[in-house]
Structure 1
Amino acid sequence: MAKSKKTFSSKPSGGSLTPWLGIAAIILLVDQLTKITIEKLFAYGEDLYVTSFFNLTLAYNKGAAFSFLHDQGGWQRYFFTAIGIGAAVYIIYLLKKHAGQRLFCWALALILGGAIGNVIDRLVHGHVIDFLDFHWRGLGHFPAFNIADTAICIGAALFILDELRRVNR
């Protein structure tokens, strides 16, 4: 009689953590490469007209979204860095726990990559590097943002979509 061999799966909740961390790593890589490129090509505050509603620019944000708390004495750098690190740790926990839930994990992976990208900026530069500048016919400019911010916003939208789908089931 053959003995049955017991194995322990490393797959949490029906899926692997690897693809989600891979997505986050791609976001992080694209974010950091675009920021390095912009910093090499532009002087602070310099704009490059691209279309009637979009410029590339080099801007620094010492605060959070929409420059929230940017004019404080510097403590916000450490505060937002700690929030970003805490969020990243919690997101990795959620990814492990729910690795089989595709839309939910896509949302988390995008947010994770973006959060780490902005944390790296705060640690290395003391501010977040922004460069995407949208505006509309003299009505003003939307606050400049970057790839990390874009990934976080798309991730948040996917998270809301996932929640709406879950509620409607």
Structure 2
Amino acid sequence: MRIFWAALVIFVLDQASKLAVVFGLNLREVGYIDIWPPYLTFRMAWNKGVNFGLFAHNSDVMRWVLIVVSLAITAWVWRWVSRSKQTKMAQISAGILIGGALGNVIDRLVYGAVADFLNMSCCGLENPYAFNVADIAIFAGAAGLVLFAADSKGKARKTP
């Protein structure tokens, strides 16, 4: 049940942030809004690939391949965590990852691409890439699974 609630919270946060920024602030037309330059700007990017636009093809086939792969990974993570004896933190991490993945799947279904809008730069280095709440959740959820998942015997890993 923890997986479901964590996934739902992340999914709602992701979709609400996209609606508020991309459509509410009309970033899709404006393209760029300084929030706290250079540390945080909203920069519109329609990502047709995976992270950093990798495998971005304009073909509809790639869009559906990415949707199917995302759904397959989501189903596998849900099944693995649900069927094995996982820690509370591993269950929450799985939900966070799943919520982020489903947020990006919805974007691909509805818009044909993922709506990315967060851009952060620092220390004289300009980051050309944009990301979204779902991307953060996918990364954090995967990291949480690495850190908190129990081994095959159901024992939590010892952390230093």
Letter in 1 for 2:157: R
In 2, the alpha carbon distance for the partners of 1:109 and 1:94 equals 12
TM-score, normalised with respect to structure 1: 0.80
Shift of 1:142: 4.8
In 2, the alpha carbon distance for the partners of 1:31 and 1:85 equals 17
Tell me which structure has the larger Cα radius of gyration.
1
Q: Deviations over 1:13-67 (max 9, x none)?
A: xxxxx22201101100110111111221123462111223210122110000111
Aligned residues: 152
> Contact (CA 8 Å) 1:110, 1:154: kept in 2 or not?
yes
In 1, the alpha carbon distance for the partners of 2:28 and 2:95 equals 32
TM-score, normalised with respect to structure 2: 0.84
Q: Deviations over 1:136-169 (max 9, x none)?
A: 3553215210011001111122122225961669
Shift of 1:132: 0.6
1:22 aligns with 2:5: yes
| Structure 2, gaps ≥5 residues long | 151-155
Shift of 1:112: 0.4
Question: What corresponds to 1:128 in structure 2?
Answer: 114
Which one is further off, 143-152 or 35-44?
A: 35-44
| Structure 1, gaps ≥5 residues long | 1-17
In 2, the alpha carbon distance for the partners of 1:98 and 1:37 equals 38
Q: Percent identity?
A: 28
The 1:116/1:137 distance shift into structure 2, 3 A limit, reads: same
- Work out which of the residue numbers 79, 90, 93 in structure 2 matches 1:107: 93
Question: What corresponds to 2:131 in structure 1?
Answer: 145
